[in-house]
Amino acid sequence: MKALKIISDLLPIPGYTVIIICFFFPFLTIKCNTTELVSVTGFDYVIGNDVKDKMEKSEMAKTIKEKMGKDLFDNKIENDSLSEDSEENASQEGEETGNLGKQTKDEKTAKILFFVILAVPLLMALSGLVISFTKSKRKGLFHIIFSTVGFIFLLSYGIMIKSSGDVNLLSSLGDGIGAGMISINLGNAYFVATIFFLIVILFFAMVKYLKKLYQEEQQIREESVEEFYSKEEF
């Protein structure tokens, strides 16, 4: 039990530190074959950086414009010879499908949602790191709670990214340029942070379980001793 106590005091500090550092590395990467075009860190979401704006300024956006005549998340680019009525219609269609320059209500809601989903795990990691330096008797329980919340939120982020309409749209645009050229993936930092949360959960859950077994065993021994002495006295 002493070894577990030492590990339980030391493990959270590097564990939460690694998680915090991961937020400064890509949580989302967009690649063209093996070349990275756009990367979005976890901290980008937390401070509210415009992810779509980063995509618009990337080389990928320029390539799509040149080869397909399309903006990312936007409609087909119109020629200068279009009439004013056609331009108005194109503008209205662009607003419906989403424009990088102007955020729609849904995009603002999504931005806030992603902020919350990634700000919470970062807050949990910071809270876990702080509690690691205290002498609270319930540190193990706090670590389980913090890590479980952080893990669930990061898992939710991954699910949302994989089911995102914007990601599917980018993939379809990539198919138009060349099959399999553009790939949208969760970054390694995201997986490392998620795994470290899981490690902390499993370790402290195991410690809690072993402590419970130890206490039950001690109770059985004490009862056996008491029963033995009661028989001797009789």
Each residue's pLDDT expressed in tens, for the chain with a length of 234 residues: 677 777 777 889 999 999 999 999 999 887 777 777 788 899 998 988 766 666 666 666 666 666 655 555 554 444 444 444 444 444 454 444 444 445 677 778 888 888 999 999 999 999 999 999 988 888 889 999 999 999 999 999 999 888 865 555 555 555 544 445 667 789 999 999 999 999 999 999 998 888 877 677 777 766 666 665 666 555
Residue 6 lies inside a defined structural domain of this protein: yes
Residue 18 lies inside a defined structural domain of this protein: yes
pTM, full prediction: 0.72
Count of the separate structural domains present in the chain: 1
Residue 65 lies inside a defined structural domain of this protein: yes
**Cα–Cα distance, 22 to 43 (Å, whole number):** 9
**Cα–Cα distance, 115 to 47 (Å, whole number):** 8
Cβ(58)–Cβ(38) below 8 Å: yes
Q: Determine the residue type at 203.
A: F
**Cα–Cα distance, 38 to 54 (Å, whole number):** 7
Q: Determine the residue type at 34.
A: T
Residue 127 lies inside a defined structural domain of this protein: yes
Cβ(8)–Cβ(203) below 8 Å: yes
Distances 123 to 15, 103, 153, 192 between C-alpha atoms, Å: 14, 27, 11, 17
**In sequence order, which ranges of the chain are alpha helices (DSSP H)?**
2-10, 12-22, 42-46, 51-56, 59-68, 84-97, 105-131, 139-162, 165-177, 188-233
Residue 210 lies inside a defined structural domain of this protein: no
Within 10 A of 100 (CB to CB), how many other CB atoms are there?
Answer: 19
Q: Residue 152: which domain range? A: 2-204
Query: What are the structure tokens assigned to 39, written together?
Result: 């990367």
Q: Identify the three-state secondary structure at position 78.
A: coil
CA–CA–CA angle 144, 147, 153 (5° rounding): 135
Residue 221 lies inside a defined structural domain of this protein: no
Residue 215 lies inside a defined structural domain of this protein: no
Phi first, then psi: what are they for 76, rounded to 5°?
Answer: -65, 140
Residue 8 lies inside a defined structural domain of this protein: yes
**Cα–Cα distance, 145 to 23 (Å, whole number):** 20
Q: Determine the residue type at 18.
A: V
Query: What are the structure tokens assigned to 61, written together?
Result: 């956006």
Cβ(157)–Cβ(117) below 8 Å: yes
Work out the widest C-alpha separation in the chain, in whole angstroms.
Answer: 110
